């Protein structure tokens, strides 16, 4: 059974990926500094998967700890999630984002190379496209200046990995550009855990529906879209997790170096108002929401051209928007108010 280092493995996408790694006969080795996750997620992963997972509490910038992990375990590949990801916070605290997101990646690259591990799946984002010139957006689209320091860290991290592969031709990496991850594991044992006020849409919807939040504000309904609200490509977190397994298997099968960016989305766009109406349908709950001003930095519409993920990774999204929102709602109802 191959050991896979999963940085940020107790986070939203990381935890779901650890479950799917075990389902695919890999052994996840988790490092997480618990900045944006909870230690009890480890036990939940173990309960779902039916086996214990190795966990190191610590920061990816700690090269001594990374050295220890690579010495303790024969690591065949890395899935690098660990990064700060709140768009708004990154505008207020850019240095925190550059230090953590860039420093964590360079430390991982340096130590993994030293230990002869050259397979990296990197957690990137469709945010690198900014406002695409055409839709659906594919991987050859121009990388635009990001709307936030968070987005800029994703662009720079992709370039760091691309430059490394140019200098070390045996290095192999897949850059997964996520669209909008939503939902929760079908067991309702793990899911999205925003600390404090959620910035993302779906946790705000479910917290409003369960009574934690008074009401949801829809950030603008005067865009040039079918109902005036923004369009996004919402993908179930379990589908997203499985894309990481496919990317890892692609790298492990490859003999020569590579660096490929791949969109991970459903290929469908839905508006914010469609999401709300779909949530009301699947939950049977009326949602209290109002229309507000546009949010600074929001892109009017973005959704994936999902062809490359099918051709290169033999992966495609399978879970419906309805099921994603049902899973998100079931998860929310397990959380204390
Ligand atoms: C989606 C839509 C909002 C909240 C960002 C990052 C991306 C990834 C996901 C990390 C927008 C609208 C939201 C609310 C609203 N980050 N909205 N009311 O901005 O598409 O993507 O988060 O993994 O890299 O860029 O996601 O969920 O914040 O917003 O109307 O209370 O919902 O305006 O149109 P976004 P989001």
Q: Tens of pLDDT along 92-123?
A: 999 999 999 999 999 999 999 999 999 999 99
**pLDDT of 49:** 97
- Look up tokens 């360079």; give the residue: 106
| Three-state SS at 262 | strand
What percentage of the chain has pLDDT greater than the value 90? 95
pLDDT digits (tens, 9 = 90+) for 168-185: 999 999 999 999 999 999
Atom in ligand 1 nearest the alpha carbon of residue 204: 31
* Residue 237 covered by a domain: yes
**8 A C-beta contact, residue 173 and residue 251:** yes
Cα 201 to middle of ligand 1, angstroms: 6
Spacing, Cα 261 to ligand 1 middle (Å): 22
Q: What is the pLDDT of residue 195?
A: 85
Is residue 247 assigned to a domain? Answer: yes
DSSP string, 100-124: IIIHHHHHHHHHHHHTT--EEEEEE
pLDDT at site 100: 98
The mean pLDDT of 295-306, rounded to a whole number, is: 95
CA 77, CA 71: separation in Å to the nearest integer? Answer: 14
Atom 22 of ligand 1: nearest residue by CA position: 200
Q: Assess if residue 323 is contained within a domain.
A: no
Burial class (CB in 10 A: 0-12, 13-18, 19+), 30: buried
Q: Does the pLDDT of residue 268 top 90, yes or no?
A: yes
Q: How far apart are CA 61 and CA 101, in angstroms?
A: 9
118 Cα–ligand 1 center, Å:
33
Work out which ligand 1 atom sits closest to the CA atom of 299. 34
pLDDT in tens, 305-329: 999 999 999 999 999 999 999 999 9
Residue 196 pLDDT greater than 90, yes or no: no
Give the per-residue pLDDT at 337: 81
> Is 150 annotated as catalytic?
yes
Which tens digit of pLDDT belongs to each residue from 25-55?
Answer: 999 999 999 999 999 999 999 999 999 999 9
Q: What is the pLDDT of residue 45?
A: 98
Predicted confidence at residue 302, as pLDDT, reads 97
**pLDDT-based confidence at 336, cuts 50/70/90?**
confident
Label residue 199 by pLDDT band (50, 70, 90).
confident
Rounded CA separation 184/101 (Å)? 25
- Identify the domain containing residue 169 by its residue range: 3-182+233-265+308-318
Spatial distance between the Cα atoms of 134 and 103, rounded to a whole number of angstroms: 33
Say if 18 falls within a structural domain.
yes
Q: Whose CA is nearest to atom 36 of ligand 1?
A: 200
Ligand 1 site, CB within 6 A: 85, 87, 125, 127, 180, 199-201, 204, 216-219, 230, 232, 272, 295, 298
Average pLDDT over residues 266-277: 98
Q: Does residue 331 lie in a domain region? A: no
Q: What is the mean pLDDT of the chain?
A: 97
- Residue whose CA lies nearest to ligand 1 atom number 27: 200
CATH assignment at residue 65: 3.40.50.720
Number of domains composing the chain = 1
* Ligand 1 atom 1 nearest Cα: 201
Which tokens belong to 11?
A: 């986070």
Q: What's the pLDDT score for residue 147? A: 85
Ligand 1 atom closest to the CA of 292, numbered from 1: 30
Q: Are 243 and 308 in contact (CB under 8 A)?
A: no
Percent of residues, the chain, with pLDDT higher than 70 = 100
Which protein residue has the closest C-alpha to ligand 1 atom 3?
219
Whether 230 contacts 219, CB under 8 Å: yes
Q: Which 3 state secondary structure label does DSSP give 189?
A: coil
Find the catalytic residue in 56, 84, 129, 150: 150
The answer on pLDDT for 158 being more than 90 is yes
d(CA 303, CA 192): 21
To test ligand 1's pocket by mutation, which of 86, 149, 180 has the most ligand atoms within 8 angstroms of CB? 180
What is the position in ligand 1's atom list of the atom closest to the CA of 294? 33
Q: Per the domain annotation, does 226 fall within a domain?
A: no
Per-residue pLDDT, averaged over 70-78, amounts to 98
**pLDDT of 131:** 93
The answer to whether position 31 is within a domain reads: yes
Ligand 1 centre distance from Cα of residue 178 (Å):
12
HSE-up (13 A, CA, CB side) for residue 53: 37
Atom of ligand 1 nearest to the CA of 302: 20
Q: Whose CA is nearest to atom 8 of ligand 1?
A: 180
User: Is 83 part of any domain?
Assistant: yes
Ligand 1 centroid from CA 169, angstroms: 36
């Amino acid at each position: 059974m191959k050991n896979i280092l999963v940085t940020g493995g107790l986070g939203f996408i990381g935890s779901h990926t650890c479950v799917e790694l075990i389902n695919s006969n890999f052994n996840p080795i988790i490092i997480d500094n618990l900045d944006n996750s909870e230690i009890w997620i480890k036990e939940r992963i173990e309960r779902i998967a039916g086996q214990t997972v190795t966990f190191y509490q610590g920061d990816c910038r700690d090269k001594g700890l990374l050295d220890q992990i690579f010495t303790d375990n024969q690591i065949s590949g890395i899935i690098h999630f660990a990064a700060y990801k709140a768009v708004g916070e990154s505008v207020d605290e850019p240095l925190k984002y550059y230090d953590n997101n860039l420093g964590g990646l360079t430390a991982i690259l340096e130590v993994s190379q030293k230990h002869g591990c050259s397979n990296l799946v990197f957690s990137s984002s469709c945010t690198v496209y900014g406002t695409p010139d055409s839709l659906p957006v594919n991987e050859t689209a121009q990388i635009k200046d990001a709307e936030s320091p968070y987005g800029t860290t994703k662009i720079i991290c992709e370039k760091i990995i691309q430059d490394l592969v140019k200098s070390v031709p045996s290095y192999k990496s897949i850059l997964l550009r996520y669209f909008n991850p939503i939902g929760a594991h079908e067991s309702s044992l793990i899911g999205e855990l925003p600390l404090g006020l959620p910035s993302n849409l779906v946790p705000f919807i479910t917290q409003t529906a369960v009574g934690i939040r008074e009401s949801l504000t829809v950030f603008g309904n005067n865009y040039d879209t079918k109902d005036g609200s923004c369009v996004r490509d919402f993908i179930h977190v379990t589908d997203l997790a499985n894309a990481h397994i496919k990317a890892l298997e692609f790298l492990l099968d490859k003999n020569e170096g590579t660096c490929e960016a791949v969109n991970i989305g459903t290929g469908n766009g839905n508006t914010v108002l469609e999401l709300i109406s779909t949530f009301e349908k699947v939950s049977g709950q009326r949602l209290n929401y109002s229309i507000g001003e546009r949010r600074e930095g929001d892109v009017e519409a973005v959704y994936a051209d999902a062809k490359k993920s099918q051709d290169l990774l033999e992966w495609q999204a399978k879970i419906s928007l309805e099921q994603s929102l049902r899973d998100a709602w079931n998860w929310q109802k397990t959380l204390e108010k």
